[in-house]
């Protein structure tokens, strides 16, 4: 089964039709998606701000990273789940949307980012507390995560403007 | 005095022309609006979650409010510049949109609430149950603002 025919199959499921054609499902799921972007993005921004030394300097890195981790993950799960439902509603449109594929590539890079920096930064925050200066690898992780997140928001928004 | 002349003037201003110019102008400004509300609501949520007993429990609500203040205010500033720019793109449509009116009403209450009630609710001598109630109201107000904003395109 090709990707295109899979998209056609999804588009014809009852769930897809219901979200697409129901008056309220789409905006409500969209609202949840937005709120989860704010939750995930907000937690991510707070952690990155601390890693970059732009704020919360009096708090230990491990305090910020460790205590916000659960909420960051919760936000991420909700944003992905609500996004998947929005995508389920119009797979054919997404299949032909360049912005959507850029967004999926960025999402893949979010996974790569997490794997690459887990050992040195996010899972290593007590060692970062002891470092006299924030190691450049932590700052790099923060900058890349900001760029990825902003790119995901931008490419997601631009899907609506693809023909 | 009617607000219509102002809306007409705004709708044909240089700002409106810029927003309605290139196809990407509006969505890009809208993305900065999203960045702003992630900062604003994200940092407020950290304090609200703390008042509710979750998140950054090793810090006090007052400490977190103080730590995050510059970022909450930056987020608010970004929202209050990108929001009016988007409004200028089509002032009359927004002005008469019920969801937009709902959003702005919630926004005014949310901002007022934040700088009056919530600022006091984070103080150490406030009973926890009052702090929790204050946090729930704060979260509900901001959720209403975002929800109202999302519905603008659908009503």
Suggest the residue from A24, A41, A46 to mutate for an interface test with chain B (most B CBs closer than 10 A): A46
3-state secondary structure of B122: coil
Q: Which residues of chain B have pLDDT under 50?
A: none
Q: What is the pTM of this model?
A: 0.90
Model pLDDT, residue A163? 60
Q: What value does the mean pLDDT take over residues A132-154?
A: 94
% of chain A exceeding 70 in pLDDT: 99
Q: Do A67 and B23 touch (CB under 8 A)?
A: no
% of chain B exceeding 90 in pLDDT: 92
Model pLDDT, residue A150? 94
Q: Among A38, A58, A70, whose Cβ lies nearest the Cβ of B38?
A: A38
Q: Among A26, A38, A157, whose Cβ lies nearest the Cβ of B30?
A: A157
Read off the pLDDT band of A22 (50, 70, 90): confident
Model pLDDT, residue B2? 85
Suggest the residue from B67, B110, B155 to mutate for an interface test with chain A (most A CBs closer than 10 A): B67
Q: Of A23 and A68, which is predicted with more confidence? A: A68
Q: Do A41 and B43 touch (CB under 8 A)?
A: no
Q: Among B24, B27, B150, whose Cβ lies nearest the Cβ of A34?
A: B150
Suggest the residue from A38, A47, A97, A106 to mutate for an interface test with chain B (most B CBs closer than 10 A): A38
* CB neighbour list of residue B74: distance below 8 Å, 6 or more residues apart: B39
Model pLDDT, residue B140? 97
Model pLDDT, residue B94? 96
Query: Each residue of A28-81: pLDDT tens digit?
Result: 999 999 999 999 999 999 999 999 999 888 899 999 999 999 999 999 999 999
Contact B143, A35 (CB under 8 A): yes
Q: What value does the mean pLDDT take over residues A141-152?
A: 96
Contact B150, B103 (CB under 8 A): no
Closest CA to A158 of B112, B22, B95: B22
Q: What value does the mean pLDDT take over residues A137-158?
A: 95
What residue of A is the nearest CA neighbor of B147? A31
Q: Do A35 and B143 touch (CB under 8 A)?
A: yes
Q: Of A39 and A163, which is predicted with more confidence? A: A39
Q: Do B27 and A153 touch (CB under 8 A)?
A: no
Q: Do A45 and B39 touch (CB under 8 A)?
A: yes
Rounded Cα distance between B48 and B61, Å, is 8
Contact B110, B74 (CB under 8 A): no
Mean pLDDT of chain A: 92
- ipTM value, please give it: 0.87
B54 to chain A: which residues are within 8 Å by CB? Answer: 71
Q: Do A42 and B45 touch (CB under 8 A)?
A: yes
Model pLDDT, residue A58? 87
Asked if pLDDT for residue A128 goes beyond 70, the answer is yes
């Amino acid at each position: 089964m090709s990707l295109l025919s899979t998209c056609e199959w999804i588009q014809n499921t009852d769930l897809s039709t219901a979200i697409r054609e129901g008056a309220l499902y789409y905006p409500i799921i969209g609202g949840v998606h937005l709120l989860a972007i704010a939750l995930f993005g907000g937690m991510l921004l707070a952690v990155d701000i601390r890693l970059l030394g732009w704020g919360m300097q009096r708090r230990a890195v491990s305090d910020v990273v460790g205590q916000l981790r659960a909420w960051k993950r919760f936000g991420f799960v909700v944003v992905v789940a609500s996004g998947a439902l929005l995508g389920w509603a119009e797979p054919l449109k997404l299949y032909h949307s360049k912005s959507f594929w850029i967004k999926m590539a960025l999402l893949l890079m979010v996974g790569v980012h997490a794997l690459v920096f887990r050992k040195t930064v996010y899972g290593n925050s007590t060692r970062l507390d002891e470092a006299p200066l924030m190691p450049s690898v932590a700052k790099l992780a923060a900058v890349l995560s900001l760029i990825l997140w902003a790119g995901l928001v931008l490419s997601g928004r631009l899907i609506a403007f693809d023909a | 005095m009617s607000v219509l002349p102002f809306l007409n003037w705004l709708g044909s201003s240089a700002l409106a022309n810029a927003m309605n110019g290139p196809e990407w102008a509006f969505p890009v400004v809208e993305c900065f609006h999203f960045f702003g509300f992630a900062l604003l609501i994200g940092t407020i949520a950290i304090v609200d979650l703390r008042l509710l007993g979750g998140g950054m429990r090793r810090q006090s609500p007052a400490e977190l409010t103080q730590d995050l203040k510059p970022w909450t205010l930056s987020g608010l500033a970004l929202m209050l510049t990108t929001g009016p720019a988007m409004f200028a793109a089509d002032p009359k449509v927004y002005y008469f949109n019920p969801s937009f009116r709902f959003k702005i009403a919630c926004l005014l209450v949310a901002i007022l609430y934040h700088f009056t009630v919530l600022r006091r609710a984070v103080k150490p001598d406030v009973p926890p149950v009052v702090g929790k109630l204050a946090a729930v109201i704060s979260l509900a107000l901001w959720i209403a603002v975002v929800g109202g904003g999302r519905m603008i395109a659908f009503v």
